[in-house]
């Protein structure tokens, strides 16, 4: 009997009922804009900022329109100007080099290793090329953050962390987003909290927080934000910081607050699913699981495995055989960007040099989301299907 998986890889859970009720209240009030507040009202958006600052331990949190917006806002707030070069990961998604390009800066790609993290030797070699690193914790994999910070501190590089896949994750107990100067998060539907679109930015730095607030479109109403730097800092920056509107509204904040309250439980649920798939895949001939370092507290909302040194055709065969059985694998090695996947060399706006060691890894990466609508039994079934189909192609049966 051939088992088929019938679930959907893009189906998220419903919004918690409390969030739906809070959203209805916002709609009934008619006050959706974050600065449209009743007398003495703090508002959902400012409350979310306070709660997210408390959750991450950051002094300041700013709620914005998207994760990509948070990244571009962070670049501007740390002083990146048109023409500057910004180091970033070769293995990431389009909004990361896109954010760099959006401020007129130029991405300088740093390689990826078999742990799917930034190649720190390559970073060290390229450190003199830029003053800023936009570090993408792509697919939730954290590099050795102590070594990364040591390299960047020595070279005077400001680190911005893209935590779109690491909300709730940590390295040696310190939250992702709290190693660099700024941490950026997305609350888009496929991330760890779902408001359709949305983003958050955290920092401890007064001036970066003040600039980011003005940039986000606070006008002179910044005093109504959830976490507000001292007025003297605003006095310094408010006339020279452009308004690049990208605020979050109360409706999105209302549905996020109950999700933040249960984020840690959700992360545990993701990891239970991740570990079932990983256990099912481990030991499959020809397939390499990505080993998670002891120091890493990860959130397994997606899983990757490597088919290292396989022919492209054989990888394609695995993908199509799995798809026939209901298992959707994404391939980061494809020559053309497809769906959400792309390679560093996909973007003609960003110069690149070939990175053969990274290309070998990128060509081998298969990726799968693990939405919380999957049961643990679903995860076992998915692993059995992948194991069987990888096995079949590996043994040459799929070649016919």
Catalytically annotated residues:
191
Alpha-carbon span 267 to 170, nearest angstrom:
12
Selected binder of ligand PLP within 161, 162, 278, 367 (CB under 6 A): 162
For residue 319, the SS3 value is: helix
Mark the segment that binds ligand PLP (CB under 6 A) among 1-9, 159-167, 288-296, 389-397. Answer: 159-167
In the bound state with ligand PLP, the residue whose beta carbon lies nearer, of 138 and 260, is 138
Q: What is the DSSP letter of 24?
A: H
The yes or no reply on residue 161 touching ligand PLP (CB under 6 A) is no
Which residue's beta carbon is nearest to the bound ligand PLP?
Answer: 67
The yes or no reply on residue 257 touching ligand PLP (CB under 6 A) is no
The yes or no reply on residue 306 touching ligand PLP (CB under 6 A) is no
Residues facing residue 296 across a β-bridge: 171
In the bound state with ligand PLP, the residue whose beta carbon lies nearer, of 155 and 263, is 263
Selected binder of ligand PLP within 34, 76, 126, 165 (CB under 6 A): 165
Q: How far is CA 209 from CA 74, 136, 154, 204, 217, in A?
A: 9, 20, 24, 8, 13
End-to-end CA distance of the chain: 21
**Site residues (CB under 6 A) for ligand PLP, limited to 170-199:** 186, 188, 199
For residue 280, the SS3 value is: helix
The yes or no reply on residue 73 touching ligand PLP (CB under 6 A) is no
Half-sphere exposure (CA, 13 Å, Cβ side) for 345? 15
For residue 86, the SS3 value is: strand
Q: How far is the CB of 78 from ligand PLP (least distance, A)?
A: 17
The yes or no reply on residue 96 touching ligand PLP (CB under 6 A) is yes
Q: How far is the CB of 377 from ligand PLP (least distance, A)?
A: 28
Selected binder of ligand PLP within 19, 43, 67, 371 (CB under 6 A): 67
Number of residues that bind ligand PLP (CB under 6 A): 15
Q: How far is the CB of 258 from ligand PLP (least distance, A)?
A: 20
**Site residues (CB under 6 A) for ligand PLP, limited to 117-146:** 136, 138
The yes or no reply on residue 86 touching ligand PLP (CB under 6 A) is no
For residue 58, the SS3 value is: coil
Selected binder of ligand PLP within 46, 58, 164, 170 (CB under 6 A): 164
126 close to 87: Cβ distance less than 8 angstroms: yes
Q: Which pairs from 324-329 meet CB under 8 Å and 24+ separation?
A: 325/2, 325/3, 325/4, 325/5, 325/385, 325/389, 326/4, 326/5, 326/6, 326/7, 326/385, 327/5, 327/368, 327/382, 327/385, 327/386, 327/389, 328/9, 328/368, 329/366, 329/367, 329/368, 329/386
In order, the DSSP letters of 175-190 are ETTSSSSEEEEE-STT
Q: How far is the CB of 67 from ligand PLP (least distance, A)?
A: 3
In the bound state with ligand PLP, the residue whose beta carbon lies nearer, of 134 and 287, is 134
Selected binder of ligand PLP within 92, 158, 266, 341 (CB under 6 A): 92
Q: How far is the CB of 188 from ligand PLP (least distance, A)?
A: 4
Cα angle 261, 266, 268 (rounded to 5 degrees) comes to 125
Selected binder of ligand PLP within 23, 47, 55, 68 (CB under 6 A): 68
Half-sphere exposure (CA, 13 Å, Cβ side) for 246? 26
Kindly list the residues in this chain that would bind ligand PLP in the complex (CB under 6 A).
66-68, 92-93, 95-96, 136, 138, 162, 164-165, 186, 188, 199
């Amino acid at each position: 009997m051939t088992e088929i998986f019938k679930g959907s890889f893009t189906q998220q859970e419903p919004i918690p009922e409390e969030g739906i009720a809070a959203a209805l209240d916002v709609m009934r009030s008619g006050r959706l804009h974050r600065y449209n507040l009743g007398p003495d009202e703090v508002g959902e958006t400012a409350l979310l900022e306070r709660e997210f600052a408390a959750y991450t331990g950051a002094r300041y949190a700013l709620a914005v329109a998207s994760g990509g917006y948070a990244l571009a806002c962070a670049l501007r707030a740390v002083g990146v100007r048109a023409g500057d070069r910004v180091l970033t990961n070769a293995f990431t998604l389009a909004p990361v080099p896109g954010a760099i390009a959006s401020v007129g800066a130029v991405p300088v790609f740093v390689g990826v290793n078999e742990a799917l993290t930034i190649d720190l030797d390559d970073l060290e070699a390229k450190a003199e090329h830029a003053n800023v690193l936009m570090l993408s914790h792509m697919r939730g994999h954290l590099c050795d953050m102590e070594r990364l910070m040591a390299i960047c501190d020595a070279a005077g590089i400001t680190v911005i962390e893209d935590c779109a896949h690491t909300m709730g994750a940590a390295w040696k107990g310190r939250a992702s987003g709290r190693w660099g100067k700024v941490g950026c998060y997305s609350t888009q539907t496929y991330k760890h909290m779902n408001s359709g679109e949305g983003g958050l930015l955290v920092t401890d730095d007064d001036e970066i927080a003040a600039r980011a607030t003005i940039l986000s479109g606070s006008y002179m109403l910044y005093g109504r934000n959830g976490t507000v730097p001292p007025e003297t800092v605003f006095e310094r920056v408010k006339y020279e910081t452009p308004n690049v509107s990208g605020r979050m509204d109360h409706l999105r904040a209302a549905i996020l607050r109950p999700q933040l309250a249960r984020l840690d439980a959700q992360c545990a649920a993701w990891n239970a699913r991740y570990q079932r798939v990983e256990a099912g895949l481990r030991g499959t001939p020809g397939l390499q699981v990505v080993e998670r370092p002891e120091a890493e507290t990860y959130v397994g909302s997606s899983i990757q495995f490597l088919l290292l040194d396989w022919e492209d055709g054989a990888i394609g065969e695995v993908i199509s055989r799995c798809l026939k059985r209901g298992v959707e694998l994404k391939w980061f090695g494809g020559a053309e960007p497809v769906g959400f996947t792309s390679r560093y060399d996909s973007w003609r706006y960003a110069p690149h040099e070939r990175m053969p060691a990274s290309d070998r890894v990128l060509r081998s990466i298969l990726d799968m989301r693990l939405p919380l609508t999957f049961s643990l039994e679903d995860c076992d079934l998915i692993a059995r299907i992948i194991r069987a189909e990888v096995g079949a192609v590996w043994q040459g049966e799929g070649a016919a």
